[in-house]
């Protein structure tokens, strides 16, 4: 689908259909109100009504708030895709709504058909936004930035959705190198030998039973005159079987998505470099496959992390934090960030705490958590903070090593995982760091908001929005 942004001289342009967003109030005064009444359409949020003879697709919204327009646009484009129409237009009256429309249309029309032998015909060719106000120059900039971010989100989704036997650590590194080449980023990949030299024993233990060697990937976007340095770290478990603490069969399905943190980092690197933001951004990814076998790491093993702290393994399914412990330590040695963020599908407990739609945000700085919350609200992603406390930290105590990789109590699992990571954050970075648990928000098997089946691209929009605001 081709998206274009036109000025108001195009208001009367001919397209196969016009998409109109209407509230319940608006349909009472609508020029086709009797026809609408006959159809039974009541304008409720995200319901649609196709008035074929009038060449209009109506889509209900509760009000014109972006949080309602975004999913309504997604519903509209899904309806359009089920028709034979080739061209559509939408009139946009308010600059504040442009990004929400773009997100709704671009993210809502996403589909992943790489593994379908019979591809569906894509009939809808062009969607035209016609901007009815005067400040076209500003508006088209907002439009193109929103398209860049939405495309980066779909790039992340494609990676998350790719099957684990097609996207293992080596391929993740290849994808990173391709992105680096296309977008002028620096890229460095550490293989098994280099990881050994770096003493990343926790990370290496997790990947040991896999036939695919682990990779630590470092991408860097370094614009001239960068205002700040931001370091991103992503959990890239290209598959999480649970290891010897094997997952039950039904929980293992979808675990290709355990690389979503890494894929979000790649998507953010793509977005910031295409938006040419004045921020130096580093992306570090721990790409590892957690498998079983004679060479697998075991519950009862004690691992020496890169930092030097020893970790008692009590559950090999709590593997993401082991990988992140080493990658966070490496990232903090290689960069001197103003902000340090990690993205990880870390715990099922985060979904228990917040539901599957919300990213869990953890960290020490109230200001940073607040600023991030503002960015995510603007970007249309759900985030909520989960508070650390010293009592939960004690639950990670080990009798034989410095720390345990799981808590000794069954409650607060998302927070104890965050506190485990906190152990590997250097003192000078404590207030610069936030941990994002995207276990629930990164993947869905039923559509919600602008998301369709599969990877959602969680993290890409809120982090890009945050980085746009960095001064």
- Segment interacting with Zn ion (CB under 5 A) among 295-303, 310-318, 321-329, 409-417: 310-318
Nearer to ligand BES, 58 or 351 (CB): 351
The answer to whether 321 is a known catalytic residue is: yes
Nearer to ligand BES, 91 or 246 (CB): 246
Nearer to ligand BES, 240 or 449 (CB): 240
- Segment interacting with Zn ion (CB under 5 A) among 21-29, 276-284, 318-326, 437-445: 318-326
C-beta nearest to ligand BES: residue? 348
Residue 347 interacting partner from Zn ion, ligand BES, none (CB closer than 5 to 8 Å by kind): ligand BES
State the sign of the Cα–Cα–Cα–Cα dihedral 66, 75, 158, 98: negative
How many separate helices (H) and strands (E) can be counted in the chain?
16, 19
CB of 234 vs ligand BES, minimal distance in Å: 13
CB of 330 vs Zn ion, minimal distance in Å: 19
Residue 386 interacting partner from ligand BES, Zn ion, none (CB closer than 5 to 8 Å by kind): none
Catalytic residue chosen out of the listed positions 54, 55, 222, 247: 247
437 makes contact with Zn ion (CB under 5 A): no
Residue 23 interacting partner from Zn ion, ligand BES, none (CB closer than 5 to 8 Å by kind): none
149: left (phi over 0), alpha (psi -120 to 50) or beta: alpha
CB of 410 vs ligand BES, minimal distance in Å: 9
Alpha carbon distance 443, 160 (integer Å): 8
Nearer to Zn ion, 237 or 277 (CB): 237
CA distance to 3, 81, 338, 460, per residue, from 87 (Å): 10, 11, 46, 29
Half-sphere exposure of residue 447, counting CA atoms within 13 Å on the CB side? 16
Alpha carbon distance 345, 436 (integer Å): 8
Three-state DSSP class for 273?
helix
Alpha carbon distance 221, 199 (integer Å): 26
Among 106, 205, 233, 237, binds Zn ion (CB under 5 A): 237
CB of 344 vs ligand BES, minimal distance in Å: 8
Nearer to ligand BES, 231 or 316 (CB): 316
CB of 317 vs ligand BES, minimal distance in Å: 4
Tell which positions 31-70 bind Zn ion, by CB under 5 A: none
Three-state DSSP class for 311?
strand
Q: Which of 81, 82, 87, 24 is nearest to 55 (CA)?
A: 87
Nearer to ligand BES, 135 or 411 (CB): 411
CB of 413 vs Zn ion, minimal distance in Å: 12
Show the beta-strand stretches assigned E in 242-382: 279-290, 302-304, 310-312, 339-344, 359-363
Catalytic residue chosen out of the listed positions 89, 235, 270, 321: 321
Among 317, 326, 342, 465, binds Zn ion (CB under 5 A): 317
- Segment interacting with Zn ion (CB under 5 A) among 47-55, 203-211, 254-262, 361-369: 254-262
Three-state DSSP class for 400?
coil
Alpha carbon distance 112, 455 (integer Å): 10
Q: Which residues neighbour 416 within 8 Å (Cβ) at sequence distance 6 or greater?
A: 392, 393, 395, 396, 406, 407
Three-state DSSP class for 4?
strand
Which phi and psi angles does 104 have, rounded to 5°?
Answer: -60, -50
Nearer to Zn ion, 245 or 273 (CB): 245
Q: Which of 73, 59, 131, 82 is nearest to 103 (CA)?
A: 73
CB of 242 vs Zn ion, minimal distance in Å: 5
Q: Which residues neighbour 272 within 8 Å (Cβ) at sequence distance 6 or greater?
A: 221, 279, 281, 464, 467
Among 103, 158, 213, 240, binds Zn ion (CB under 5 A): 240
C-alpha gyration radius of the chain: 23
320 makes contact with Zn ion (CB under 5 A): yes
321 contacts 421 by C-beta, under 8 angstroms: yes
258 makes contact with Zn ion (CB under 5 A): yes
Contact residues: ligand BES, CB under 6 A: 240, 258, 315, 317-320, 345-349, 406, 413, 439
- Segment interacting with Zn ion (CB under 5 A) among 1-9, 138-146, 233-241, 421-429: 233-241
Nearer to ligand BES, 100 or 349 (CB): 349
Residue 348 interacting partner from ligand BES, Zn ion, none (CB closer than 5 to 8 Å by kind): ligand BES
Binding site for Zn ion (CB under 5 A): 237, 240, 258, 317, 319-320
Residues forming the active site: 247, 321
């Amino acid at each position: 689908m081709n998206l274009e942004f036109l000025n108001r001289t195009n208001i009367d342009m001919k397209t196969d259909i016009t998409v109109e967003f209407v509230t319940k109030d608006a349909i009472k005064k609508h020029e086709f109100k009797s026809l609408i009444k006959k159809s039974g359409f009541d304008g409720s949020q995200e319901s649609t009504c196709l008035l074929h003879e009038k060449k209009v697709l109506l889509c209900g919204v509760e009000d014109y708030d972006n949080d309602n327009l975004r999913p309504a646009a997604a519903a509209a484009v899904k309806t359009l895709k089920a028709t034979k129409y080739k061209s559509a237009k939408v009139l946009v009256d308010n600059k504040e709504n442009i990004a929400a429309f773009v997100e709704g249309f671009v993210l809502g029309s996403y589909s992943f058909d790489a593994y379908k032998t019979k591809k569906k015909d894509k009939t809808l060719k062009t969607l035209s936004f016609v901007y009815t106000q005067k400040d076209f120059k500003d508006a088209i900039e907002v439009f193109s930035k929103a398209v860049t971010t939405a495309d980066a989100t779909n790039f992340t989704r494609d990676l998350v959705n790719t099957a684990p036997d097609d996207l293992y650590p080596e391929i993740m590194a290849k994808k990173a190198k391709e992105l680096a080449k296309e977008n002028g980023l620096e890229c460095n990949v550490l293989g098994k030998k280099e990881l050994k030299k770096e003493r990343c024993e926790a990370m290496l233990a997790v990947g040991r039973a896999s036939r695919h060697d682990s990779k630590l990937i470092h991408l860097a976007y370094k614009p001239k005159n960068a205002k700040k340095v931001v370091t991103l770290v992503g959990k890239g478990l290209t598959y999480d079987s649970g290891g010897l603490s094997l997952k039950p069969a039904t929980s293992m399905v979808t675990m290709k998505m355990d690389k979503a943190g890494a894929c979000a980092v790649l998507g953010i690197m793509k977005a910031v470099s295409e938006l040419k933001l004045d921020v130096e951004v580093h992306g570090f990814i721990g790409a590892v496959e957690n498998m079983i076998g004679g060479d697998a790491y075991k519950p009862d093993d004690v691992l020496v992390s890169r930092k030097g702290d020893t970790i008692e393994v009590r559950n090999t399914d709590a593997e993401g934090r082991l990988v992140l412990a080493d990658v966070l330590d490496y990232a903090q040695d290689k960069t001197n960030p103003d902000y340090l963020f990690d993205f990880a599908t870390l715990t099922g407990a985060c979904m228990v705490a917040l539901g599957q739609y919300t990213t869990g945000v953890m960290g020490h700085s109230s200001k940073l958590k607040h600023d991030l919350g503002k960015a995510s609200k603007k970007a249309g992603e759900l985030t909520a903070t989960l508070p650390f406390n010293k009592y939960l930290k004690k639950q990670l105590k080990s009798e034989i090593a410095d720390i345990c990789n799981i808590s000794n109590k069954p409650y607060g699992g998302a927070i104890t995982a965050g506190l485990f990571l906190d152990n590997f954050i250097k003192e000078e970075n404590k207030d610069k760091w936030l941990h994002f648990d995207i276990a629930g928000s990164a993947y869905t098997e039923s559509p919600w908001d602008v998301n369709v089946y599969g990877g959602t691209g969680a993290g890409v929009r809120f982090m890009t929005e945050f980085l746009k605001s960095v001064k």
